[in-house]
Chain A
């Protein structure tokens, strides 16, 4: 397994501002992903964070709204830009460990974001 640390764990933000969430993993990973879990709903994949290149976004998510960086194998950031109350969610970093199998994900504890 791995320890996946996310910062901040929670935050309350004002409409129109932006927030960057960090994800740090203590083990070697091959793939990193960002998920969103809206209140009372399941997890939705936002994007795959690619090391040294642009992230791969899922349908309905765009780089201007959710810019992602992954400067090295074990660290990634997700920014939620120009926030609105609809962005209130838990944002989860997840990884596939080196030597692991695609689909066997390990998750961070999430960053709970409330937008007023």
Chain B
């Protein structure tokens, strides 16, 4: 079965630190890739997405992600995190237009 793995379950950073959250998916052909964010008490929101083209995609709030096809990865990055980035981050993948499969999520806590 197709799967999505997020290796970091909990991450704690200080403000201004750099962030990289890992996401790997199982092989299965053409993929669409997403990162969603859930801030405390709020609903899931789309952070960024990749369908095709430039493998480095930029999203809202200074986030970016790089699609590396050879590694089946789509890691999320931010050069300098803020306290307001405290949230849970979900990587999600759809294969050939099928339904989204979500990773297990990463809880990020940014200390002021």
- With A101-B32, A101-B51 as contacts: A110 and B99 at CB distance below 8 Å: no
Interface centre among A44, A45, A48, A102 (most CB of B within 10 A): A102
Q: Does B74 contact A (CB under 8 A)?
A: no
Q: By the criterion CB–CB under 8 Å, are B99 and A45 in contact? A: yes
Q: By the criterion CB–CB under 8 Å, are A109 and B42 in contact? A: yes
Q: Does A91 contact B (CB under 8 A)?
A: no
- Nearest-neighbour CB distance to chain B for A35, whole angstroms, equals 8
Mask, B93-112, CB within 8 Å of A = 1, is 01001111111110000000
In the complex, what distance in Å separates the CA atom of A106 from the CA atom of B49? 13
In the complex, what distance in Å separates the CA atom of A106 from the CA atom of B43? 9
Q: By the criterion CB–CB under 8 Å, are B34 and A103 in contact? A: yes
Q: Does B46 contact A (CB under 8 A)?
A: yes
* Chain B interface size range: 20 to 34
In the complex, what distance in Å separates the CA atom of A23 from the CA atom of B102? 21
- Nearest-neighbour CB distance to chain B for A31, whole angstroms, equals 9
- Nearest-neighbour CB distance to chain A for B106, whole angstroms, equals 10
B34: chain A residues at CB < 8 Å are: 103-104
25 inter-chain pairs at a CB distance below 8 angstroms, sorted by A residue, are A33-B99, A41-B104, A41-B105, A42-B102, A42-B105, A43-B90, A45-B99, A48-B99, A102-B94, A102-B97, A102-B98, A103-B32, A103-B49, A103-B92, A103-B97, A103-B99, A103-B100, A104-B34, A104-B46, A105-B100, A106-B46, A107-B44, A108-B43, A109-B42, A109-B43
